[in-house]
Amino acid sequence: MTGQQPMFRFHSLLTWVLLAGIIIMADAWTKQWAVDTLVLYRPLEVNGWLNWTLAYNYGAAFSFLNDAGGWQRWFFIVLAVGVTGFLLVWLFRLHRSEWRVGLALGLVIGGAIGNLIDRISLGYVVDFIDVHYAGHHWPAFNIADSAITCGIALLLLDTLLVSMKKPGDKSTGEQV
């Protein structure tokens, strides 16, 4: 690294682990609120494009394998533990200058653990955010899903930015 420092100095390992912890807590709190407040599959309108709708997802994204007979619970638990372990190793090996990747991994790890807790304790994932337009509904999701999606988008953005960077360009403070 040259003498330049990244714009933000908050990108240490502890920061990303704390971010994951905040995602896990926010996810657990909002899911508990949904279970305590909402009636299963009965929408509560927030505005013209958003409802709170309690739903139980026994599958994965978009209810993939939702009705597969129960084996998918254990499959997704093992998959989530393996992926989270891989991401933690990646996080521990990051250089301090790779703050976008650290942020992304913190989001994905927090979201993965949030949904993993549901799968282990309940056998399904609690979803409650229902976005819709003109009668078409996006599959219900939760804070953990949002964090995973944002984290993956940030990883893709970082990959794009790094691939567009010219050799010798030190404008971001990252090593090529």
Tokens of 168: 């010798």
Give the mean model confidence (pLDDT) for residues 64-73: 65
Tell me if 141 is assigned to some domain: yes
Q: At residue 159, what is the residue type?
A: T
Could you tell me the pLDDT band of residue 165, with boundaries at 50, 70 and 90?
A: confident
**For residue range 81-126, what is the model confidence (pLDDT) as tens digits?**
999 999 999 999 998 889 999 999 999 999 999 999 999 999 999 9
Determine the structural domain holding residue 122 and report its residue range.
13-40+51-163
> For residue 97, is it within any domain?
yes
pTM of the model: 0.83
* Cross-strand bridge partners of residue 52: 44, 129
Inside any domain, residue 7: no
The residues carrying an active-site annotation are 127, 145
How would residue 6 be classed by pLDDT, with cut points 50, 70 and 90?
A: very low
Name the band, by pLDDT with cuts 50, 70 and 90, for residue 1.
Answer: very low
Token pair for residue 43? 């929408």
Alpha-carbon dihedral 56, 58, 28, 93, rounded to 10 degrees: -150
pLDDT in tens, 19-43: 999 999 999 999 999 999 999 999 9
Q: What is the DSSP string of 70-84?
A: SHHHHHHHHHHHHHH
In a domain, 156, yes or no: yes
Is there a domain that residue 145 lies in?
yes
The mean pLDDT value for 49-63 works out to 85
In a domain, 71, yes or no: yes
Alpha-carbon span 80 to 68, nearest angstrom: 18
Report the helix count and the strand count for the chain, using DSSP H and E: 4, 4
**Amino acid type, 108:** V
Confidence band for 58, pLDDT divided at 50, 70 and 90: confident
**pLDDT band for position 8 (50/70/90)?**
very low
Domain membership of residue 4 (yes or no) is no
- Output the pLDDT for position 160: 92
In a domain, 129, yes or no: yes
Contacts of 120 (CB under 8 A, 6+ apart): 77
Q: Two tokens at 163? A: 């691939």
Q: What angle do CA 80, 61, 122 make, to 5 degrees?
A: 60
Q: How many domains does the chain have?
A: 1
The answer to whether 140 and 130 have CB atoms below 8 angstroms apart is yes
- Percent of the chain exceeding pLDDT 90 equals 68
What distance in Å separates the CA atoms of residue 30 and residue 62, rounded to the nearest whole number?
Answer: 20
